[in-house]
Structure 1
Amino acid sequence: MADGEAIKNEVKSVLDRMGFGLAVMDITAYQGLTSRIAVRISGDARMLIGEGGANLGALEHILRKIVQKKLGAEERFSLDINDYRMRRMEDLKQEVKAAAKEVRMHRRPVPLQPMSSFERRIVHLLLEEYPDITTESTGQDEERRVVIKPYP
């Protein structure tokens, strides 16, 4: 396993070559699952993030492959640009709480919008603490989503 500083340097090097000015960059523990590389971009970061974080996910995948090749170790890290993912997780938590409340109130399934596998995993983990609710992933590819249901 490579150290955080080596990963950070590789990520910074790639983003510098892409022409993005980095104002701040930090690597921290993130939910005990993986490391979080937080990047601050001076100027407009919309192109790096993309619609619904699609470009951010693709960039993260590419950076993982580069780090794996250069440092010789498969590293698990989450790339977060201008706190996009952190804000998205907070929004997701609120959405899940509201959907769980609706399921409890009306006793009928509530499908969430399609989301990434990482976000689906977060939803499943968040709802584990609700004994009267169960979750199920349905759909395929870009249409894969979580359905929150009352426990039978």
Structure 2
Amino acid sequence: MTTNETVHEADQLTESDPGPATAGENRRAELLREGEAAADFLENLLDICDLDGDIDLDIDGDRAAVAVVDSEDGRVPRRLVGSDGKVLEALQELTRLAVQSATGERSRLMLDVAGHRASRRAELVEVAREAIAQCRESGERVEMTPMTAFERKVVHDEVLAAGLVSESSGTEPRRYVVVVPADDSAGTSESSTTAEPADAEGSDAADSALPSDDRA
């Protein structure tokens, strides 16, 4: 089992930089420590369960990104994803708790297993675009199917990029996104232009827009 770290060259700290660490550099160092703590926890878990898999570490926006991927020894068991990603969500929460125990700080890391989130994100973008097109054509609000916080975040981002707004409605686990026509946006109480909470799941950056209660 191996752990691979990916930090973009522009983000690396080098010995040739004699100046004091900036806030951004300090934050990146914190995220790397989060990723390493998560990797230690996941490696131990895989060893105890006698499961195959390598660990990839990255920084995605303002959070650590950790992925369990197929190794040379074998494939990651897909049961670690579970039906509709439910096992993955639970494993992510356990990993965040392990990181918090190791670092003393609450973690917002994003965990992926066997590329599930990446594949699901691509599917959701297409679903969101269909809902956007339907909303524009009909001029009516479009209610989508229930989704997890991660899935709703992907949809909210796509709607915002299209110049419309969206809101979340319902209660977990049946919470869903509503795409709102532009001329109705002034009356929405929970639009995608609302500032994202610090612990919103699936965000790509700290300042991404998200309805206030779509959180991990």
Do the two structures share a fold, i.e. TM-score over 0.5? yes
Q: 1:52 aligns with which of 84, 90, 98?
A: 84
Indicate the residue corresponding to 1:134 in structure 2: 165
Indicate the residue corresponding to 2:175 in structure 1: 144
Q: Which amino acid aligns with 1:102?
A: Q
- Matched ranges for 1:3-152 at <5 A: 3=33, 4-22=35-53, 24-30=54-60, 32-41=61-70, 42-43=74-75, 45-131=77-163, 133-152=164-183
The alpha carbon displacement at 1:110 in A equals: 1.7
Overall identity of the aligned pairs, in %: 29
The alpha carbon displacement at 1:137 in A equals: 0.6
- Secondary structure at the residue paired with 2:166? strand
1:108-134: CA deviations, max 9, x gaps? 222111111222122222212333x22
Q: Choose between structure 1 and 2: higher helix proportion.
A: 1
- Secondary structure at the residue paired with 1:104? helix
Structure 2: stretches of 5+ with no match in the other structure: 1-29, 184-216
Give the TM-score normalised by structure 1.
Answer: 0.87
Moved more, 85-94 or 11-20: 11-20
Give the TM-score normalised by structure 2.
Answer: 0.63
1:1-50: CA deviations, max 9, x gaps? 3623333222211222233112x3211122x1422211124346232111
Distance in 1 separating the partners of 2:76 and 2:42: 18
Distance in 2 separating the partners of 1:57 and 1:6: 18
Q: Which amino acid aligns with 2:175?
A: R
Structure 1: stretches of 5+ with no match in the other structure: none
Q: Choose between structure 1 and 2: higher strand proportion.
A: 1
Q: Which amino acid aligns with 1:40?
A: V
Between the two structures, name the one with larger relative contact order (CA 8 Å, sep ≥ 6).
Answer: 1
